[in-house]
A and B are shown apart, each in its own frame.
Chain A
Amino acid sequence: MSARLSASHAAFLGIVLAITGFILWSALSASTSLNNLIVVAPAALLLGVLALCIVVTVLRSPDADPAPAGALGDLLLLAGFGIFCYALTHVGFDVATFVFVWAGIVMSGGRSLWVPPLYAAIFSLALVKGFGSLFPYPMLTLVL
């Protein structure tokens, strides 16, 4: 037991096992008939066994579980993306897209002061007037 699980690996396995437990509990609570559990039960059981195998393999491995760098930047962009997805139907597709694309360019290394906002504005306009016009659903916009 010379190595330990990286934080992101432990988080992933923890999230999956929590989801697995919840889905299994929910399915069992709904009905214990074979028709209801035919995929859920074997899949949940195998996920548990496989998670155990993976953890044991990692812990018994002489090499440490590799932890790639750059997690903070990725997580920031991911959090921004989550907020953007929520803001689409709450703030407006146009403004949310403009702010996200501008911030995203800056976070991804865009250095110019005026090119990112200009690009974000043109891109948002093109999306709203092009992509958006093809949607068969109503689309909330704040400015355009």
Chain B
Amino acid sequence: MLDQFALSQAFGLLFSSFDPWIWVIPGLLIGLVFGSIPGLQISMAMAVFLPVTFGMDFLQAMLFLTAIFTGGAYGGGVTAILMNIPGSSSSIATAFDGYPMARQGKHNEALGLGLAASVVGSFIGYILLLLLIGPMAALVLKIGPMEMVVVVLWGLTLIATLNDGNVAKGLFAGFLGLLLSQIGMSTTGIMRTTVGNPHLLDGIPAVPAMIGIFAASELLRLRGSSYLVTDEAQRDISLRKILAGVAETFRYPAVLLRGSLIGAGIGAIPGVGSSVANLVSYGEARRTSRTPEAFGKGAPEGVIAAESANSSSEGGSMTALLALGIPGGAATAVLLAAFSFHNIIGGPSFIRNQTDVVYSIILGNLGQVLLLAVVGLLMLRVLGMVVRVPLAYLVPSVLAMCAWGGYGITGTIAGPLTVAAFALLGWLMRRNAYPVAATVIGLLLGRMMEGELVRTLQISNNQPMTYLLERPIALVLAIAMLAVLVGAPSLKALRARKARRAGQ
């Protein structure tokens, strides 16, 4: 499975001098800052700093850019926990339980949980990449639209579980997101609902919409309070409590491992990645938990499941890049650009001929993950200070940053106006107990769902069920999904009924 000679050469490349590591800590810090500011995306950070890598050698450049990637993946979770603002779509599920924990004065513990889950998740993701890069690359090539439909459907099933009190409201919010995702040019090139506005040709920009519906609407709700954490005694930034959160992560090994495996698996599928991985992982953690009713109210398992999955998906996303030369998302596309600057082409020949370099990139990333634990712990003390800022100052400041973030993503007035429109929608939804997260999930996955469904119909000649039987991976995924969604709850209900009968 592992080429021992190439592995020893990789250790030589990494540890014979300090040069490959010089840019790792600055990269992690840049990623943390970009990840934690809504609207500044990791891919944007990598693109901004790409020219800096011209003067570096290939390994140094890769470690610098992947350090930004690693730091950014965790940075998005920090604001999700502290302010209910997911820095990117990969941190949506982190906010579900991280933010309620912060409001209860457990922000230190939540940040510790997120950091430890991110570090372990990334570590597992890269270990899997190191061991399975060959077989995983072969598997990725077999993934087609039918498999994608099943994976996206799995992500969408989370919608139904987001509002325990009123399932109809949860579904209503989810279908609203799905419908809004259909604005703009369809997969087959048909114009829908653009009202003659060129900004709507590509549909509603998802990230500004997410910032508006999540962050701006939440900030409006906070307006009347004095601080994020009401109890003054709990507003401290405590390293001891952060470390307690880190330790608590390991009390849920199954959630941690499952989240990491889901993240690595889904992350390897080009175009799907961490935004689906964190939702699927959160949904599975909730379904299998002994206390599903605690989810959404500050359950540590929720934070662990989301953060471990979005971090391990980073390792997964590198599979397609290194083994096939295909970027799975915007961040890996920037990495591919760095490849071309150094006259390197990813793909089977890269793995075959430069195995030592591939291994050194993966091992370097494992080292980065350990450094993230240290840098993260130091930075959390600074980032956590947001709970000490009076809300009268925090609310308008962050609202302004949300609008700026919307502009940063689209480069036009469409971004800030989308943030404002979705802030109103989110405000109305929150006032009437509709889960805004369900709308975001629908919005994010709707367009992907339509594209993959249309492609499946075209490939299968309008016979998707017959086609499903010819696709073993899709069939296994569909059976696993049905077993998890229908089989597990039925089994649980049956056991509960048996227990009740035995008790009578």
Residues on A lying within 8 angstroms of B by beta carbon are: 6, 8-9, 11-12, 15-16, 19-20, 22-23, 26-27, 30-31, 33-36, 38-40, 43-44, 46-47, 50-51, 53-54, 57, 65, 67-68, 70-71, 73-74, 77-78, 81-82, 84-86, 88-90, 93, 97, 100-101, 103-105, 107-110, 119, 123, 127, 131-132, 134-137, 139
Residues of B within 8 A of A50 (CB): 168, 171-172, 175
Residues of B within 8 A of A23 (CB): 179-180, 182-183, 192-193
When C-beta atoms are compared, the residue in chain B nearest to A46 turns out to be B175
Q: Is B437 an interface residue (CB 8 A)?
A: no
Q: Which of B331-339, B406-414, B485-493 contacts A (4 or more CB under 8 A)?
A: B406-414
Interface size on B, residues (CB 8 A): 69
Query: CB distance B416 to A26 under 8 Å?
Result: no
Query: CB distance A78 to B171 under 8 Å?
Result: no
Q: Is B500 an interface residue (CB 8 A)?
A: no
Residues of A within 8 A of B453 (CB): 38-39
A53 CB to nearest B CB, Å: 5
Q: Chain B interface secondary structure, helix, strand, loop or mixed?
A: helix
* Chain B residues numbered 466-502 whose CB sits less than 8 Å from any CB in chain A: none
Query: CB distance A38 to B193 under 8 Å?
Result: no
Given contacts A12-B429, A26-B193, A105-B393, whether A134 and B168 have CB atoms under 8 Å apart is no
Q: Is B370 an interface residue (CB 8 A)?
A: no
Query: CB distance A57 to B168 under 8 Å?
Result: yes
Query: CB distance B395 to A108 under 8 Å?
Result: yes
Of B176, B396, B419, B450, the contact of A105 (CB 8 Å cutoff): B396
Count the A-B residue pairs with Cβ separation under 8 angstroms: how many? 199
A35 CB to nearest B CB, Å: 5
Query: CB distance A81 to B413 under 8 Å?
Result: no
List 24 contacting pairs A-B, 8 Å CB cutoff, sorted by A. A8-B428, A11-B428, A19-B180, A23-B192, A30-B190, A35-B454, A38-B453, A39-B449, A40-B192, A47-B176, A57-B166, A73-B223, A73-B224, A74-B427, A77-B223, A82-B420, A86-B413, A88-B404, A88-B416, A90-B413, A101-B397, A108-B396, A134-B40, A134-B44
Query: CB distance A78 to B424 under 8 Å?
Result: yes
Query: CB distance B397 to A22 under 8 Å?
Result: no
Known: A57-B166, A108-B396. 6 other contacts (CB 8 A): A39-B449, A44-B179, A47-B179, A78-B424, A108-B393, A127-B401
- Bound-state Cα–Cα, A9 to B429, Å: 8
- Bound-state Cα–Cα, A44 to B393, Å: 41
Query: CB distance B400 to A84 under 8 Å?
Result: yes
